Amino acid sequence: MPGTRIELARHFKYRGILSPLCLPIPPSRQVKTLYKKEEFFTSSLRNFYYFFIRSVKYTHLHSLKTFINIHNMYSDTHFHFNLIEENKRVEVLKTFLERKTFFAQDIGTHCDDLQSRQNLMVDSILKANLNNEDIEKLKRTVCFTAGIWPAVEAIKDRNSQVDILEKEILKALHNEDAFLQKITALGECGLDHHWNPSGVDGRCESDFDSTVFFGECELFEMQLALAKKLKLPVICHSRDAASDTLNCLKNMDYDNGVIHCCTYLIDDVKKFLDRGWYIGFTGSITYTKKSKMEDMKQLLQYIPEDRILLETDAPYLAPVPMRGNPNTPIFIEYVYKMIAEMRSTSVEHLSAIVDKNCSSLFGVEA
Ligand SMILES: [Zn+2]
């Protein structure tokens, strides 16, 4: 029946198979009979079509991983395992396994803390009484950084501390044990004009100390230079110091890393994004003041999908509803939930994009 094929094609076209609006054009007499026969078939196709288009629109095809690997949840790019309560450490590791967490980064703050932190992690994994398969899974998830936080004592002793840091990192990178070799970034390091006597945050103007102020910038620049030399991304701590941080980055011409625990608003954040930085958010966003909530929402919606990272900074900054308790990476789910809501997306989708970003910034395999 040569006519049938043409009518069928026309029928599909007019019944909306090729038109997203699916306009209800009355079928012709010939097509009417055909429509009755094919009604079930075409409406099923149409339903599939709508489902497919909606999937593309609302979840973006690349995040279909979300539906497949629904359990790869809640990467935490910044916590201090050695400062987490001793009786919570095994529970944290077991939670990574239960959630099939893709990436968990233990952050250093002192020039010589790397080895002791790694020993503590290995001991805690042993204490968790896991089978070999789970131990291997955990070792794929957990990784380490090393860096010098800008404390006044470290600033004053910066030359010898950066030497020690370099030796510690090189020693680890040459370790025969693949797990202990996993140094994924340098940091945390940066500028803290809130706690240090910088005179710029209005908290301690009378306190300005030029030796500390310029020494702090130098300590940060020395670590940027080291990161550049070792080709490592940087975990950048920057508090009340956006313009000085940007100056250091420009001076050292190194833009590779994350502005962790971001407390800046959109104008400053844009400058870091433009230079190629990722932006990390902690539980502190869950207690944003009501008057600042709209600004925070605007910022969170502005961050491109390929630049957002999430972290706890445990044991600090426990998110609501756990505020007031010592924080652990277990509580990161509340940070994901709030940010997903503010970005009008699902927690699963947010987890998938953060995992992808961890993979591209820290060079771990997805
Ligand atoms: Zn930290």
Q: What is the pLDDT of residues 295-309, one digit of tens each?
A: 999 999 999 999 999
Going from the Cα of 22 to the center of ligand 1, the distance in angstroms, rounded, reads 54
Residue 15's contacts (CB-CB under 8 Å, 6 or more residues apart) are 22, 25, 27, 35, 42, 46
Whether residue 28 is found in the same domain as residue 91:
no
Mean pLDDT over residues 96-120, rounded? 98
Could you give the angle at the alpha carbon of 91 between the alpha carbons of 181 and 341, nearest 5°? 90
Whether residue 98 is found in the same domain as residue 132:
yes
Going from the Cα of 5 to the center of ligand 1, the distance in angstroms, rounded, reads 67
Domain residue limits at 294: 68-362
Whether residue 167 is found in the same domain as residue 35:
no
Joined tokens for residue 204: 């301690």
Whether residue 175 is found in the same domain as residue 47:
no
Q: In the prediction, which pLDDT does 210 show? A: 81
Helix axes 132-141 and 89-99, enclosed angle (nearest 10): 90
Q: How many domains is the chain built from?
A: 2
Whether residue 139 is found in the same domain as residue 231:
yes
Q: What is the DSSP letter of 23?
A: -
Neighbours of ion ligand 1 (CB under 5 A): 313
What tens digit of pLDDT does each residue of 235-251 get?
A: 999 999 999 999 999 99
Going from the Cα of 346 to the center of ligand 1, the distance in angstroms, rounded, reads 27
- φ/ψ (deg, to 5) at 117: -70, -40
What CATH number is associated with residue 191? 3.20.20.140
Whether residue 169 is found in the same domain as residue 248:
yes
DSSP class per residue in 264-314 = --HHHHHHHHHTT-EEEE-GGGGG--GGGHHHHHHHHHHS-GGGEEE---B
Going from the Cα of 234 to the center of ligand 1, the distance in angstroms, rounded, reads 13
Whether residue 28 is found in the same domain as residue 146:
no
Alpha helices in 100-206 (DSSP H): 114-127, 132-141, 152-156, 158-173
Whether residue 175 is found in the same domain as residue 217:
yes
Going from the Cα of 366 to the center of ligand 1, the distance in angstroms, rounded, reads 24
- In this prediction, what percent of the chain has a pLDDT beyond 70? 77
Going from the Cα of 133 to the center of ligand 1, the distance in angstroms, rounded, reads 30
Is there a contact between 240 and 262 (Cβ–Cβ < 8 Å)?
no
Mean pLDDT over residues 184-188, rounded? 98
Going from the Cα of 188 to the center of ligand 1, the distance in angstroms, rounded, reads 7
Going from the Cα of 78 to the center of ligand 1, the distance in angstroms, rounded, reads 6
Sign of CA dihedral 279, 258, 236, 179: positive
Whether residue 46 is found in the same domain as residue 121:
no
Mean pLDDT over residues 202-210, rounded? 63
β-strand pairing of 308-310 with 278-281: parallel
pTM here is: 0.80
Interatomic CA distance for residues 129 and 94, integer angstroms: 10
* Last-in-domain residue among 38, 59, 80: 59
Is there a contact between 227 and 256 (Cβ–Cβ < 8 Å)?
yes
Going from the Cα of 202 to the center of ligand 1, the distance in angstroms, rounded, reads 23
β-strand pairing of 104-106 with 76-79: parallel
In the sheet that 183-192 helps form, which strands lie side by side, from edge to edge? Answer: 76-79, 104-106, 142-146, 183-192, 234-239, 257-260, 278-281, 308-310
pLDDT at residue 165 is higher than 80: yes
Per-residue confidence at 15, pLDDT binned at 50, 70, 90? Answer: very low
